[in-house]
């Protein structure tokens, strides 16, 4: 069972931004930039391109809605998207508010207090 499935079942906590029957979006715990969010299908699958075309399209549709909410909440040049999965083998889309190339390079990290994460998740969620 992946760490993201544990989040989905409520076994471990997350800073939830959005959810529907098939997907959940929560803040990345080790963000590249403020507002870095992960969008995750509730059905655990390892690789994104092993999803059916329909499941892939619906993941993109939900990510689109989450990206709009991030864009509304945080000033940035644009919201960037990345798929990696080398650390957590459970499909997820990284949505990252970008102001500079460094924000999407997964080298620079920013830290927030628990309260800051809670407030940020709530602010994005209100715009969803
Ligand atoms: P990757 O699998 O390479 O796409 O990276 C996995 C991402 O998940 C990293 O950016 C981690 O910071 C993030 N991550 C790992 N565990 C958690 C967690 N419990 N809550 C939120 N984000 C997490």
pLDDT at 45: 97
Contact assessment for residue 124 and residue 69, using Cβ atoms and an 8 Å cutoff: yes
Contact assessment for residue 114 and residue 108, using Cβ atoms and an 8 Å cutoff: no
Residues of the domain holding 9: 3-126
pLDDT at 58: 98
* Beta pairing, strands 78-82 & 93-98: antiparallel
The ligand 1 atom at the shortest distance from the C-alpha of residue 7 is 19
Please tell me the distance from the alpha carbon of residue 106 to that of residue 45, in angstroms, as a whole number: 23
pLDDT at 23: 98
Please tell me the distance from the alpha carbon of residue 19 to that of residue 73, in angstroms, as a whole number: 17
**Spans in the chain with pLDDT lower than 70:** none
Write out the two tokens for 12. Answer: 């471990």
Mutate to test the pocket of ligand 1, among 32, 36, 88, 96 (most ligand atoms within 8 A of CB): 88
pLDDT at 84: 98
Nearest to 39 by CA among 75, 67, 2, 78: 67
Stated pTM of the model: 0.98
CATH code of 82's domain: 3.30.428.10
Which residues line ligand 1 at a C-beta cut-off of 6 Å? Answer: 3, 14, 28-30, 38, 84-88
Domain count along the chain = 1
């Amino acid at each position: 069972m992946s760490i993201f499935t544990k989040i989905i079942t409520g076994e471990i906590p997350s800073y939830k931004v959005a959810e529907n029957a098939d997907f959940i979006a929560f803040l990345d715990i080790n963000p590249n930039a403020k507002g870095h969010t992960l969008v995750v299908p509730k059905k655990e699958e390892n690789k994104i391109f092993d999803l059916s075309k329909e499941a892939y399209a619906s993941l993109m549709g939900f990510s689109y809605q989450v990206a709009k909410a991030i864009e509304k909440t945080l000033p940035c040049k644009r919201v960037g998207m990345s798929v990696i999965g080398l650390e957590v083998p459970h499909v997820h889309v990284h949505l990252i508010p970008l102001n500079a190339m460094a924000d999407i390079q997964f080298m620079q990290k920013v830290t927030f207090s628990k309260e800051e994460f809670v407030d940020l998740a709530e602010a994005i969620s209100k715009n969803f």
